A and B are shown apart, each in its own frame.
Chain A
Amino acid sequence: MSALAAVVYREGKIRASNALFIFWDIVYPLGYLLVFGVGMNKALGFAQLPVDYYAFFLAGVLGMAGFGIASNTAWSFFMDRDNGIFYEMLTYPISRAQYLLGKVLFNVAIGLMQAFMTVVLAAVLLGVQLRPVGFPLLAASVVVGTAGWFFFYSIFALAIRRNDAFNTVTSIFYFVLLFASSMFYPVEPLPAAFRMVARANPITWHVDVMRFATIGLGDPRWIAVEALCFGAFTVASFAGAIVMLRRQA
């Protein structure tokens, strides 16, 4: 436990040394919700949706925030490598799993704070009808989601030694995973091939669970399947990240 606490302490200290980083992690999804969500709702409207677009998009924003925090956290491996501290840390009395978990725990806390602020803002400013009964599920999906995406990105951050190559990979993931998913629009009206890709996309599983948790949209049985799939994705990514970490040096 003390090893985990030490990693969390270290992450917190580093992130606190750059408050702008934390501010951006927390605030940018809010901006997305207010600007993009409201704009899309007013400009285009979505007649086939049972709720306003910004209520629909709320879960997308929460998913996007977790995705962003996770990629930023994984990118910090490059910073650690540049500082030389990465290899020194690998000689500390912590297991590789503790290293990964500790690294993500602080950022999960940021994710929860960000989700709380976004949800409150959506309810107060946009009048989104939230389901308090879904809040525990929402909290769980923020925690698992941030961790899962961090582990996923860590595989690439640890396998790729060049920062610029990693940035290219994350840009591709952003484009493919975010747009071929239910983050910005419902999957059902999409062309069959597009829909198939979206259904197999872990972002869709993650966002659908959060959408069900926040506004109750979705079939509970299908949501349960998606939650299980995302859990499996997280476990597999965690295992992959540990393997990659063990291959360092």
Chain B
Amino acid sequence: MSDPAIGVRGLVKWYTRAGHPPVRALDDVTFDVARGSIFGLLGPNGAGKTTLLRVLSTLSKPTGGQATVLGHDVAAAPLEVRRRISVVIQETAVELFLSVRDNLITFARFHGLRGSAIQPRVERVLSDFGLTSEAHRKAMDLSGGFRRRVQVAKIFLVDTPVVFLDEFSTGMDPLLKRSVMEKLRQEAERGRTIVLTTQILSEAEELCDDILILNRGKQAARGNLHTLKLLSKGVYDVTVTFDRLPPGIEADLAARQPLRMAITQNTVELTLREDEGGILPVVSAIASRGRVLRLEVGGASLEDVFVELTKNQPATTEDASSAPRGVS
């Protein structure tokens, strides 16, 4: 990749605290992020996603390795990095005592906007985020969802070439989330590089050009959606809705050792690994157990890949040596 927006080489981060064993939060992480792309960081809780974002946004120094943002080293030139980024941190972050409008103006001033440049941008963002009628209200009087809306709105005020979002959609209603995702796509098309973490895999599936799955501080897999799905070749999602749940079906299905299984009322959802030729007989056998109202068989989703790569590996960061290697 020529001249990437973000370059990470052998990044290591240990957390040490007196009286506690050291925790390896990032272990030899290496990847590049192309300019103008949307890059997703996925992983279970404690995988190291937020730690990685904190290192890249200069909130935390790496223990080893190197990370650069637009050519500037996050440890050696943090101010140069901060001049090129805007960040939505995982926790809600607003100026509680200021109005919504003043929250936006203050953020804009911090990012170097002055005088007449600020007002039109503020009005546009207020309108885009449905905040115009709330503009005069202090953030402390807003609901949690609206506070998050103000926080996310801020990054659309400025033109920093790199944007980091840590679980940006937390607390957002579905309509706003969809609108923000559309805006993020537009920002990427304008050339901004977006790096986001998410636990919502459909979000990553829909939005990200490139995905890194972290598990226990290590890279579990890396690639675009197509590449990652190849990791689960031969993995199928099967959904069967019966008129009523056949007795004993749970034990029968468990005997097939599915990667994932969920039974809700009279619907059975399974993720199975089977040969291409073997999946239809299996589905037929399941369907023959009762009167079927609905039957769906699909290829692997990102969720399947994620589950397969991170299954049976509790999200402690103490020892990441057994995480499987993916493609890159």
List A residues at the B interface (Cβ < 8 Å): 2-3, 5-7, 9-10, 13-14, 17-18, 83-85, 87-95, 248-249
Contact digits for B68-106, partner A, Cβ 8 Å, 1 yes 0 no: 000000000001001101110101111111100010001
A60 to B61, CA, bound (A): 43
Q: Which of A10, A13, A87, A94 is the one whose CB lies under 8 Å from B82?
A: A94
- Chain A contact residues: over half helix, strand or loop, or mixed? helix
A92 touches B82 (CB 8 A): yes
Q: In this complex, what residue of B is CB-closest to A87?
A: B89
List B residues at the A interface (Cβ < 8 Å): 54, 57-60, 79, 82-83, 85-87, 89, 91-98, 102, 106, 109-112, 114, 138, 151, 164
A88 to B82, CA, bound (A): 11
Residues of chain A with a CB closer than 8 A to B59's CB:
87, 90-91, 248-249
Q: Can you name 18 extra interface pairs (CB under 8 A) apart from A87-B91, A88-B93, A94-B82?
A: A2-B114, A6-B106, A10-B95, A14-B97, A17-B97, A17-B98, A85-B95, A87-B89, A90-B58, A91-B82, A91-B85, A91-B89, A92-B111, A93-B83, A93-B110, A93-B112, A248-B59, A249-B54
A91 to B86, CA, bound (A): 7
A92 to B83, CA, bound (A): 7
B112 touches A14 (CB 8 A): no
Q: List 19 A-B contacts (CB under 8 A).
A: A6-B109, A9-B106, A9-B109, A10-B95, A10-B109, A10-B110, A13-B102, A14-B97, A14-B98, A18-B97, A84-B91, A85-B93, A88-B87, A90-B59, A91-B59, A91-B164, A93-B110, A93-B112, A94-B110
B98 touches A13 (CB 8 A): yes
Residues of chain A with a CB closer than 8 A to B87's CB:
88, 91
A17 to B102, CA, bound (A): 11
A93 to B113, CA, bound (A): 12
Return B81 CB to nearest CB of chain A, in Å: 9
Return A120 CB to nearest CB of chain B, in Å: 31
A99 to B87, CA, bound (A): 17
A153 to B83, CA, bound (A): 29
Return A3 CB to nearest CB of chain B, in Å: 7
